[in-house]
Structures are given as C-alpha cells and as structure tokens.
Chains A and B, each alone.
Chain A
Amino acid sequence: MLIRPNRGDLRLIGYNLGRILGVVAAAGLVPLTWALVAGEFAPAASFLLMIGIFGTLAFALRQRAPQSNRLEWSHGMVIVGLTWLIVPAIGAVPLVLSGHYGSFIDPFFDAMSGLTTTGLALIQDLDHLATSLNFWRHLLHFLGGQGIVIAVLSLFAGGGAMTLYYGEARDDQIFPSVRSTARFIWLVSAVHAAFGIFALGAVGYFVLGFRPFRAIFHAVTIFMAAFDTGGFAPQSSSIGYYHSAVFEAVTAVLMVAGALSFGLHFALWRGRHKVLRNLEIRTILATFLGTLLLTLAGLAGAGAFESLSGLSRQGFFQVLSAHTGTGFATVPSLELASWGGLAFGGMAIAMALGGMGSSTAGGVKSLRIGLTIKALSSQVRQVLLPEGAVISTRYWQNGWKQLNPDLIQAVMGVSLLYVALYLLGTGVGLMYHLPLQSALFESVSAGANVGLSVGITDPSMPLVLKLTYIFQMWAGRLEFVAIFSLFGFLFSLVRGK
C-alpha cells in the first residue's frame, strides 16, 4: 500500500529545498558582479531577476520550519530530484533574456546540460554572447559537477544529510561526517582551481598571446568545464579555438583530475599509493587504452590523418574527452560525424563507459564495469567447474572485498538502466529518421553527460528529441534512484492513502 506523504513531509522537503535554492541564489551574485565589472548591464539586470526569483522561492519555502529536520531516504531523494529540475529552470532565465535562443525550451536544455556537466548546447551565436552569461553557463558546470547539494551540506549538514549526499549519485564517504566530506570535496576543487586557472591563464597570456582579461576569462571558463568534465567552451569551436598543444595538455590534465573520484584524490593526497591497485583504476586504464587503440586503428584505417602526429594528438584528445565525459573537441562536429567504423565504435564505447564513481564524470562508471567483468568471469568459471563447486570472487578496492550477489545485482541493474537510457535516445532519434550511427552517438553523449556532438544537437531539432535528451541528461547525472524516487513520491501524492 502506498502511503500518501503528509504535510510534515512536504514542509520538510520544502524547507530543505529552500536552503539549497538560497545557496544557488548566492552563487548568482558571482556572475552579477562579473557583469557589473565588465560593463554588461543588460545581462546584469537578467542576473538580478534570476537571483530575485531564486531568493523569493527559497525564503517562501522556508517560512515554516519543520518540527524535525531529520530527513528520510525518500525525502532526500525527492529534494535532490527536484533541485536538479528547479535550478536549471530558474537558472535559464538570464539565458532566455539574452536573445540567443529561439524557444523557451532551448535555454532550459542548455541550463540542464550545464548543470549535469553534459556540454551539449543549443545556444545560437555563442561567439557574440556576453562574457558574464558565458561565465554563468560554466558556473552551472561547476555547481553541478561539485554537487549543489554538496555545497549546502558543507554549510548546514543536519540530520539525515547522508540521503542528500547519496541522492546526487555519490557513494564515497571520505570522512565519517558528511559535512567534512563535503568540505574536503570543495578543498580539492579549490586547489585544482588555483592550479588550473593559473596554468591555463599563463598559457593564454604567454603562449597564445591573449590580452590579460581575455586570458583570465578563457582560463576560468575552461577550468570549470574541464575539471567538472562539462564541455561547454567560451567559443563555438571548443578547444580547437586555441590551436595549441600546450593548452590541450593542461586541459587534459584537468579533465583526468575531474574524472577521478574524490576518494582517490583523498588517498593520493595522503600518500596512499596502494589505491592504484584498485579495481576501479585498473578498469579505467584498460578501457581507456582499449578505446584509444580502437579509435586510432579506425582513424588510421580510414586515412583520416596523414601524419602520425596528427593521428595521435587528435585521436588521443578526442578519446580522453569522451572517456572522461568532458565533451571538448578539437575537430568540428561535422568531421567527428565522418568518423565511422572502429573510430566511431571506440568513441561511443568510451563515452558510454564514463569516468570513476563519485567524480564529476558521467556514464556507467569504471567500478561497475570492472565488477560486471568480474561477475561474468565468475559465472563462466562456475559453469566450467563440477556441479556444486563453490567459487569465491574477491576484488581489491581500498582493500580486499567479496563480490556478493546483492552487489552484482545492484551493479547490473544500474548498468542495464544506462543501456536502456542510451537506447531510449537512439530510438527517438531513429523515429525522426536520423542515421543509426548519429542517433546512437548523440544519445550516448546525452545519457552519459559527455557533450560531444555529431551535429544532431541543433536548435532546429525536433522538440521531442530535445525533451528526450533533457531527460537523459537529468537521469544519467543522478543515476536514476533520485528520479525514480521523485516519480514514486509524486505518484503516492495522488494515489496514496
């Protein structure tokens, strides 16, 4: 029997949602300040409106404090699911008012893409967009990649905060307290921000010859998109704009850092190099090398690049971008669309597999892939051995762990959901007569929060396809549980007793 949520549940959800929206409203002050400093007053007015809406909603929801602020699992999941819908909806306001979009759904698409660190974009004439609006698009990557809820937890973690933490698809609790874990995540990001912005800014100024303000602008935006494995870029030609191997190298380091779990960052900071034996690390290295070889073989076979330097540099960057779920490109999307056969296969697989769990990357995640392979090999061994033989399968992930049926079921379940998500977008694409290869590529890119495009994602694409990709980005980023909980909650509001 479904139990209808009572007023207390709604008040608890609203109160905590209000807290989160209040933090996002405060975050909106950053692009507002940027706009005022840069003399971009029209965008500044739109940021004022956005902050006002966030603030009004936040304080309206917090008018009545709940009797107890102890969150249960269902509350946490519903809060996270709603947060990731409301923030892009209101966060799209400055984008709507920019005049760079043809419909109301397009800015929402871009805001969702930004927040979920996907990087697919429907913006038109990006190259003339105000720098403050461009900064806001990238800040959405940062808020989403770090986890908006993490930001709130680091300030006011209360009872049941763990439910919010898990709701954002994080399962790596580094410290016993959620607040300490959240603060550590922000510390890692701050250190990388200092290094990344300095390195990119230095390359921009000294190597690329940009003016100081422009060097900082490029450094800040590219850092946020790279470390949060987002994929937006301040110019329409993505990383190809810079025509610089050095700039690509620094960006690549940041993409890799973003695709590593925060737990791994913690272990490496503490000098615990044993973590490099982890199944997750070995799996991601193996899948990266495998997809890289596949892509390079495909490109070499097709004669896409005549020189070895071109093949290796362009192939490496594109595969790294795909596997980390970033979505930066150094080749135009039309050229990417021509990568058929093995090269297409390598790229699509790299995108679908994704980075590490509890990182800013999307996709199935390497630990699940590693465990799935372990489970399958265990099954094969079971079949080959005499009936009644008992096989015990262990794996190393911060110590020896037993592979048990519950874990296998959970891993397989989420992996299958990702496959279903990829097929959903592909099916809708085929419905609109897109070629199978393009439909599959774009769908995987959306569902795995990558952002590479073969040209399908375009303002003129059908509305249903836009809505499908929005759903894929949302569900893929939150890894389904929060989404299902939200649907279940809404259903029980209507049909519960």
Chain B
Amino acid sequence: MMRRRLTFLLTITVAMLAATSAQAASDVGVDELLSDGAAFAGQTISVVGELIGDYGRRSDGSAWTQLNGDPYASAPLLESGALGGSNAGIGISAPADLIADLDPPGGYHQRGPLVRVSGIWEYHDADRGGETYLDAVSIEVLEPGRAIEEEVNPVVASLGALFLVTALWLALRGRKRLLD
C-alpha cells in the first residue's frame, strides 16, 4: 500500500515538474543561441522561425532540418522584403513524425512554415561529436508555408537576347574576315 502511494506521489511530482519545465520554456532568439549558445546548454527552450533547406529523414527515425530566425522568415525577399543581412539559423533534430505533415521547407520559390520549436538545447553534444542543435519535442505551426513566385524581368531577358544576337553577329563577322 505504502509502495503504491509512493509510486503515485512520484508520478504526480514528475508530471508537475514536466509541466513546470514546459511552461518555463520561453522563446529564445536564434541570435542569442548563436552568440552565446553555452548559456542555454541543456535547457528546454522554444525558438520561433522558418524551417529551411531540407527535411532529412534518417534511418534512426529522426529528421533534421534548419530553423532560421532572421527577418526573411516573416518578410521574404521575393515578396518585397527588405535585405536584412546574412541568415541566422540553428539545426533542429526531431522525431520524423513531427515533421510528417509540415509544408515543404523554405528555399527559392518557397517560404517554409513558420513554427515554434520546443526542445532541449544540445550544446556541443558529446554523443554527436560536439554538434550543437535543438532536440525538438514539439513543433507548433504558427503560419503555414507558401509558394512564392518570381516573375521574369522582361528588360533583363530582352537585353540578354540583344547581347546574344550581337555576339552571334560578331562571331559570323569575325569568321568571314578570317576566310577572306
């Protein structure tokens, strides 16, 4: 009886601790993680940003991707977003089922899903040869991904054609001179 009670109490304590730790997870900026990653080592954190590049599904059941927390996540360049410097991203490792239903990751012609990823910040993980990444336990979609179009600039295309025609004319002229 005593043993059962102890088990029950232990279970409640663990559940409460887990809940507290989940609540304690506050949003951390990618810039903060890149500039002082050691400060968050082993902590449960949440990071908001765009999933980018690839979803690499590995044989161990994990999936790897990158989360960018830069201005382009909310305002893509192809949608008249302003230039805001280099990208700022961190690696994300998650169980493959967490990314199964997500929109394609960001790239050219694609704004990736804007998400909040919560998990443990693995800084210089000894088990993975010193890699640093966020070991995700949950991914919340804040905004789905979407396709982005880029129109062909007619001036560029016309100028290209003009230069190409000029080059061909010069080539033929040069050849004729050589034969003469």
Q: Which residues of A does B touch, CB under 8 Å?
A: 25, 39-42, 44-53, 55-56, 58-60, 62-65, 97, 99-102, 123-131, 207-211, 214, 235-237, 240-241, 243, 245, 304-307, 309-311, 313-314, 330-332, 334-335, 458-460
Contacts and interface: CB of A to CB of B under 8 A. Distances in A.
Nearest to B126: A307
Which of A64, A211, A214, A237 has the most chain B CB within a 10 Å cutoff?
A: A237
Interface in B115-129: 124-126, 128-129
A317 to B, nearest CB: 9
Interface of B: 34-35, 37, 52-59, 63-64, 66, 68, 70, 72, 76-78, 83-89, 91, 93, 106-109, 124-126, 128-133, 150-153, 156-157, 159-164, 166-168, 170-171, 173-174, 177-178
A51 B160 contact: yes
A56 B167 contact: yes
Nearest to A234: B53
Contact of B166 (A56, A123, A311): A56
B178 to A, nearest CB: 7
Contacts of B72: 125, 127-128
B174 to A, nearest CB: 5
A274 to B, nearest CB: 37
Contacts of A127: 52-53, 66, 68, 72, 87, 89, 106-107
Nearest to B71: A125
Contact of A128 (B56, B106, B124, B167): B106
Contacts of B152: 41-42, 44-45
Contact of B170 (A60, A123, A128, A207): A60
Contacts of B131: 240, 243, 310, 330
B119 to A, nearest CB: 14
B164 A51 contact: yes
Contacts of A460: 85
Contacts of A45: 152-153, 156-157, 160
Contacts of B160: 45-52
Nearest to A62: B174
A237 B130 contact: no
Given A209-B63, A236-B89, A334-B35, A59 B164 contact: no
A129 B164 contact: no
Given A97-B153, A334-B34, 17 more contacts: A39-B109, A44-B152, A48-B161, A52-B160, A63-B174, A97-B156, A127-B87, A127-B107, A128-B52, A128-B72, A243-B64, A306-B124, A309-B129, A310-B124, A311-B130, A335-B37, A460-B85
Given A45-B156, A48-B164, A237-B89, A211 B54 contact: yes
Contacts of B177: 63-64
Contact of A235 (B66, B76, B159): B66
27 contacts: A42-B151, A45-B157, A45-B160, A46-B153, A51-B164, A52-B162, A52-B163, A52-B166, A52-B167, A55-B163, A55-B168, A55-B170, A125-B72, A125-B83, A127-B53, A127-B89, A127-B107, A131-B107, A208-B54, A214-B54, A237-B87, A237-B91, A243-B91, A243-B131, A310-B126, A459-B83, A459-B85
A334 B160 CA distance: 41
B111 to A, nearest CB: 8
Nearest to B91: A243
A128 B174 contact: no
B161 A102 contact: no
B166 A240 contact: no
A62 B125 CA distance: 59
A11 B56 CA distance: 55
A331 B160 CA distance: 41
Contacts of A58: 167
Which of A47, A63, A458 has the most chain B CB within a 10 Å cutoff?
A: A63
A208 B57 CA distance: 7
A313 B83 contact: no
B54 to A, nearest CB: 5
A65 B174 CA distance: 9
Contacts of B59: 207, 209
B125 A52 contact: no
Given A59-B167, A310-B129, A126 B87 contact: yes
B150 A42 contact: yes
A40 B53 CA distance: 17
Nearest to A332: B34
B40 to A, nearest CB: 13
Q: What 5 A-B pairs have minimum CB-CB distances, sorted nearest first?
A: A310-B130, A52-B163, A55-B167, A307-B126, A48-B160
Contacts of B171: 55, 59
